[in-house]
Chain A
Amino acid sequence: MAIDLDLCTGCGDCALACAQENNMPVFEDDSDLPKRVQFLDLMKVSNDRDAAYPDVEVCYIPKMCQQCEGNDPKNPKPPCVSVCPVVATDVGDDGIVSQIWSRCIGCRYCQASCPYEARAFNWWKPRYEGDFKKSLNPDVSVASRGTVVKCQFCSHIWKRERDRAVAGGELDINAVTYTPACVAACPTRAMVFGDLDDPGSELSRLLSREKKRTFRLIHTIDEMKEKDEKKWKAMMQAKNYPNPKVYYLTSKAWIKEMMKFK
């Protein structure tokens, strides 16, 4: 996935669509961020620590699970997967870091190991009062209290589309495409989703075209490639190198600077 921050107006449609699609629990007060259950966090950031009025700017960064690959693409081991004692989280054939709510025992090791705070813990039983139950999506199971949940790039939509394609006689699974809820909702098309392994996909073409504006949330390591390739390779082999698959695009230097993995 790629998110063009120069096009993001911070409207929050992605977060609303995500909550609706993924049966987010409903609470009366969700204003306590560490306890808030959501997959997509719309972060408001500003450079007001380093700049004074009127040189400041604000920006919104939609942050979800970065779908890390780890240091070995053949055997992907993101930081969260290697710590799970019950294999509730794993990387599937589709490259998506999955999480099975009902298998989770709530030890929260994965939450602690996630460098992006992309996982949420259900401190309370998710309740859907009255008719809210009617709007629940049957493709996403409702989590019980004491489990960790996370964004899975709406992989249930991929499965739905795959089944539909197979029923229609399509035999090549790689030909199946889909759009996660957040990407579908983005009104300015700031979010692009596609197959990173396919050089012809819109996503891959965008990333190769916009190399200068692209960064990931580990770009101190990515930057090293230009400066010191040997050191870069060594850093990539570090045990918890996340190697995320979400790319951000911006023309503002301060955003890149702020989002550095320090």
Chain B
Amino acid sequence: MKKIDRKDFLKIGGGAIVGGLSGYVFSGAPFLGMQWLIEWTQDQYVPAGGKEEYLKTICEACREKCEMSIRMIGDRAVKIETSNSGCPFSQNALQLLYHPERIDAPLKRVGRKGTVKFSAFEKVSWDEALGAVSKNMNKLIGEKRGHLIAGISKHDNLASALLDRLVKACGSTAAYYEPSLNSLSQAALGGSVEYDFNNADCILSFGARLLEGWGVPCSMNKAFIEWKKKGTRLIQADAVRTRTASLADQWLPIKPGTELILAMGIANRLSKRGRAAGGAEWMAVVEKYAPDKVAALTGLSVKQIEEVAETFSRARNPVAVAGRGGKGVSSSSAEFLAVHALNTMAGSQAAVLKKGQWLGEPVLSANAAASIKESKKLAGLDDFIKNGNFEIIIINEADPVYKSAYGAELAEKMDRAFVVSITPLLNDTAMYADYMFPSLTFLENDTSAGRAPLKPYLKSAHAGDCLISLAQKVDGVKASFPWASYVDLIKTSGASVGAGGVNYNARVLIDQLALIEKNLKPSDEFPLSMIPVELTFVGDGDGMAFPYALKTIDQKTFSQGKLCVEINRKTAGQHGVSEGERIDIASSWGEIGSVRTHLTDTVAPDTIAIPLGFGHMAYTKYAKNKGVNPKGIMAHDIDPLTGTANWWHTRVKIS
């Protein structure tokens, strides 16, 4: 071997240095380093200035119609303030308006269904998108198969009424709503209950977390101030010591899922004072629930039940409230009926049944009239997902794939169907959409009062306008849509009127009571009860797309990417679970894994409280893959009147 002399050594050394240096330069590292240095030392974003002005408008997100002031800097909206009371909805509005993942033009699917990536979609023009959707609809209507067109809406509003009308005009009865306080009470009672919380003097809430996003948060917050001033008594029945239960004057720590039984117990006491409601058959069931039986089932004492019944019946204007939960409301129809019966028994003036009067019946074409006879009207959304059939489905702002207990089944059916989603953000349901129509925030909506304060975001349009334009292109439907635009329609729409009498269905009540009593029996396989809890700003998942809302999530709910469930301390001890431990939860409908435990006595014994709103598959990168969504393992029993799963109380085990 040749000996390496000094010259060779210098050559090799020099070559290594030159090679190393050129490698370093060509790798881009020095440029990246320089970039970091610049960022470290001087890169500081300065928000653009402009003329400051305040735009006055009215928030039409709910019936409270709060006055709002939007602070503008040039053409940028930088802050929203409400004159009377804020609500998370308006506080989040700017984050939705300027959301980096907001859909800015109609999208057409080019990739596989069920993918979250924007690369699976391409931007198309409104004409092209509406043309493609109407072509598919026309084909079905032409074949007299219009009954395979369905619609799912989120809010009970005018745009949803338009979708109902469109679906019906196509020859289908399959227009459904995501379960909400309104839709559930309408299905159970035949109208939504308008509560006069300001003038009630005793409020008995059956698991309705009134101050945690329930109903219309603005009105509830205002009512809360009134209660404090007037000394209104709030009695809260719940299995978790929530904030509402802590603020209540009296908390009734019932066993999970026994709200209906408590209502029967109180009705029983009221009946002893000669009060009645619901007819003889209904009252016969009430008679069976004497305080001692109710006490044994609910875990309360006979004295507590009698005292509450006494307080309730003696109040001048008492009101009982049904609709468990904050935003994600779930109560059985029997519970809505039983609680409303209490109001009737006590002669409450603060709970009035109202019915929205929207658009009336559409004109049916010959084809539509033929196919509507084929259409089977099911009780509600979950019933439809389970037993219904569709080839085209239009989703109006709703997210049933995420929110329904039957979400997975719906996703499977959507995989085979033609799906249109009207939404500002790509949510779990829109993952299966063939076409996506970008809708507006209320800041960009024209209202009956005047023009919208802000211009629509890029190519977005109001859901109502989307549906009116679509209807113009669908055969035989145009006659039922005489409006030029959504604003045109607002001016002609009617107000709500009183609903008729309530049909107290004793059969439904007996079945529901039997189911609850069966669920209450100790079971070796599923020894624990699982019930949901919510954070006001996350709700049933709608708030998760907003980064500022994420900043307010407390560490006992979601920390470092891990979702925590609350377990009673003693129960945790019995099951050998310690604080912060990773557990799996299983019910007869499935299993979820990787949640952490938080031991707390705010939860009833033998109970797990799981936060709702987490575990999205899509709905922007802020919501995606954070925690788990428990809906899939929650109870799937479909209510005969509301047609939705009563998922509130589920028997589970942990491992």
> B-contacting residues of A (Cβ < 8 Å)?
6-7, 9-13, 15-17, 19-21, 23-24, 26-33, 36, 38, 42-44, 46, 48, 51-54, 56-60, 102, 125-126, 128-138, 141-146, 181, 184-189
Contact = CB atoms under 8 A, between A and B. Distances in A.
A178 B81 CA distance: 14
A43 B97 CA distance: 28
Contact of B91 (A16, A51, A58, A142): A16
A206 B642 CA distance: 49
Contact of B78 (A33, A51, A137, A144): A137
Contacts of B100: 129-132
Given A9-B224, A33-B559, A44-B556, A16 B79 contact: no
Candidate in A21, A56, A137 with the most chain B CB atoms within 10 angstroms: A56
Given A20-B548, A54-B604, 5 more contacts: A16-B537, A16-B548, A31-B550, A131-B100, A188-B221
A126 B241 CA distance: 37
A11 B47 contact: no
Given A11-B221, A33-B559, A130-B98, A135 B537 contact: no
11 contacts: A16-B537, A20-B94, A26-B547, A31-B561, A58-B242, A58-B243, A131-B98, A134-B76, A145-B39, A185-B82, A187-B86
Nearest to B212: A9
A16 B88 contact: yes
B536 interface: yes
A118 B424 CA distance: 36
B241 A54 contact: yes
Sorting the interface of chain B by its residue count into under 10, 10 to 19, 20 to 34 or 35 or more gives: 35 or more
Contacts of B99: 130-132
A21 B49 CA distance: 15
A135 B551 contact: no
Nearest to B553: A31
A142 B570 CA distance: 48
A144 B552 contact: no
Contacts of A11: 87-88, 211-213, 217, 221, 536-537
A8 to B, nearest CB: 9
B360 to A, nearest CB: 37
Given A33-B555, A146-B40, A184-B81, A134 B98 contact: yes
B585 interface: no
B224 A52 contact: no
A152 to B, nearest CB: 16
A135 B77 contact: yes
Contacts of A134: 76-77, 98
Contact of B551 (A36, A44, A126, A131): A36
By Cβ-Cβ distance, the 4 closest A-B pairs, closest first, are A130-B100, A54-B253, A136-B47, A187-B221
Nearest to A21: B79
A13 B91 contact: yes
Contacts of B85: 187-188
